[in-house]
Structure 1
Amino acid sequence: MDNAELLAGQDDEAKQPVRLLASFPSSMYGDMVVRYPYQEVSDYAYAYHEAARRLASTFSGRPEDDTILMPFLMLYRHAYELRLKHLAAYLAGVRRRYREPSTADLEPANVQQRLRFEHGHRLAPLLAEVQEHFAALSLPSDFPASVVETIDLLHEADGTGMRFRYAHQLPDTQEQTNFPALAAILDDQLETLAVVEDYVEELFKYVPDDYTY
């Protein structure tokens, strides 16, 4: 099989519906959810954030609420990871567009190589890359310290992205946590992280250039 045949096969596979979802078709809004084919990383970050919020909203202070803690943490941690990856790519693009058009490390393929294969699921190096790009833009405001503090806590608790997902990965201790306070902090700081992109976009909105992505 040559490359053309291989690519054609991949294209055909990409056009096949997800059988798990297509097996339960719906034409009524009352029972329908939709998976859109062109969602970006930021859309997935928002979806995990929204799912975590909805799960947190079920908390009622009863013993059975203990069962939502690990799924809740996993959803929020993944939302932070995806938000950081999206923001890193965005800030690298702003640097390339307005500051350093010839820097090889800022080329999209090189950025994605670092995000996917060097940093992987680890929040600390993802945050470091975001902070590096943010600092290189020489902006009038500092990167939010409260976001850094929250991500540091998340990374300390789950540095690999596996500790909230599998049993026996966390320390052999027992913590009694104020869940509404925890949920509020994770929600507020993820919102703040998302606003960083809006802040940068607003600053560069009227800067003239002829750059084409």
Structure 2
Amino acid sequence: MSSPSSSAPRPRDLFTEFPATAHESLIVRYPDRDDGRLAYCFADAAERLGDSYRGSAPDDALLLPFLYLYRHAIELDLKYCIKFAARLRRREGHTDRELMPSVVEARLHKKHGHRIMALLDELDRHMDALGLEKSPPAVRQMLTLLANTDPRGESFRYPGSLPQAQDHIDFERLRAGLKDAYNVSSAAADVLYTVEEYQQDAAEEARYVAAEYAYDGAEEAREIAAELRREFEQYY
């Protein structure tokens, strides 16, 4: 699908109909957010919502929106790390067709969808192939609980998907568990950034060595040519 022409008039929407007129009311939508950055935004929104909890009856309304925000943050972060890890594996010379960008993207959307554990399992496979640590048991346990509560990514969005029973939950413990799971799982991106820097340094060193060999070879060729000219000058 081709992207809309930059010269085409933009249709009226929520972003165009409410232009900022004062810095005090300004909020910015950036067009270049990837899954990892958007995951952070959802997690941050969940924490801000959690900060409004006061332990009173009206706070019951926070629960499902709060869970949805954190669940979506974790899902986006796992997908971001999977694509990142697959890219690093390609740079390391892994040639498996399953690492091709289009194949990875299709698998994430069509096969895994919103299934948290399928995403975590794939990320662990990539991390293992890169010689990196897989997800800690505590994170896997917390995400298993999350997946058991919301297998398809719809239980916190629509009514009727959760058990028809009233649950009494310790919100602060629940919040802490989800926050820890998100923070630790998202730390995989930091590890992958370190690997990427190592790969870039190694590639730069390889280019430098190749250039040195090329220079030395050219210099040697010039010396041989000069020696041959000196040897043959006596015949002219």
**In structure 2, do the counterparts of structure 1 residues 173 and 78 end up closer, same or farther at CA, with 3 Å as the change threshold?**
same
- Give the distance between the partners of 2:83 and 2:136, measured in 1 at CA: 18
Displacement of 1:205 in angstroms is 2.6
**In structure 2, do the counterparts of structure 1 residues 14 and 134 end up closer, same or farther at CA, with 3 Å as the change threshold?**
farther
Judge conservation of contact 2:135–2:185 (CA < 8 Å) in 1. no
CA-to-partner distance for each residue in 1:155-175, whole Å, 9 max, x for gaps? 100011111111111011221
**TM-score normalized by the length of structure 2:** 0.80
- Asked whether 1:81 is paired with 2:45, we answer no
Residue of structure 1 aligned with 2:159, choices 152, 167, 191: 167
**In structure 2, do the counterparts of structure 1 residues 138 and 7 end up closer, same or farther at CA, with 3 Å as the change threshold?**
closer
Residue of structure 1 aligned with 2:2, choices 2, 7, 16: 7
One-letter identity of the residue aligned with 2:90 = R
Residue of structure 2 aligned with 1:57, choices 39, 51, 74: 51
Judge conservation of contact 2:124–2:134 (CA < 8 Å) in 1. no
Displacement of 1:13 in angstroms is 9.2
**In structure 2, do the counterparts of structure 1 residues 65 and 14 end up closer, same or farther at CA, with 3 Å as the change threshold?**
farther
5+ residue gaps, structure 1, are 1-5
In structure 2, what is the equivalent of residue 184 of structure 1? 176
Displacement of 1:18 in angstroms is 6.1
Q: Which has the higher helix share?
A: 2
- Structure showing greater radius of gyration is 2
CA-to-partner distance for each residue in 1:37-63, whole Å, 9 max, x for gaps? 111111110111011000000001111
5+ residue gaps, structure 2, are 207-236
Q: How many residue pairs end up in the alignment? A: 203
In structure 2, what is the equivalent of residue 133 of structure 1? 126
CA-to-partner distance for each residue in 1:8-38, whole Å, 9 max, x for gaps? 7x33598736611211111322001111111
One-letter identity of the residue aligned with 1:145 = P
- Give the distance between the partners of 2:2 and 2:134, measured in 1 at CA: 45
CA-to-partner distance for each residue in 1:74-116, whole Å, 9 max, x for gaps? 111111110110011111111111251x221101111101011
User: Counterparts of 1:1-213 in structure 2 under 5 Å?
Assistant: 7=2, 10-11=4-5, 16=10, 19-100=13-94, 102-139=95-132, 141-203=133-195, 205-207=197-199, 208-209=202-203
In structure 2, what is the equivalent of residue 3 of structure 1? none
Which shifted more, 11-20 or 29-38? 11-20
Which shifted more, 165-174 or 14-23? 14-23
Identity, in percent, stands at: 34
- Give the distance between the partners of 1:205 and 1:130, measured in 2 at CA: 19
CA-to-partner distance for each residue in 1:137-187, whole Å, 9 max, x for gaps? 122x34222211111111100011111111111011221111011111111
**In structure 2, do the counterparts of structure 1 residues 135 and 14 end up closer, same or farther at CA, with 3 Å as the change threshold?**
farther
Judge conservation of contact 1:99–1:137 (CA < 8 Å) in 2. no
Judge conservation of contact 2:35–2:80 (CA < 8 Å) in 1. yes
Judge conservation of contact 1:84–1:130 (CA < 8 Å) in 2. yes
State the Cα RMSD in Å. 2.1
Displacement of 1:206 in angstroms is 2.6
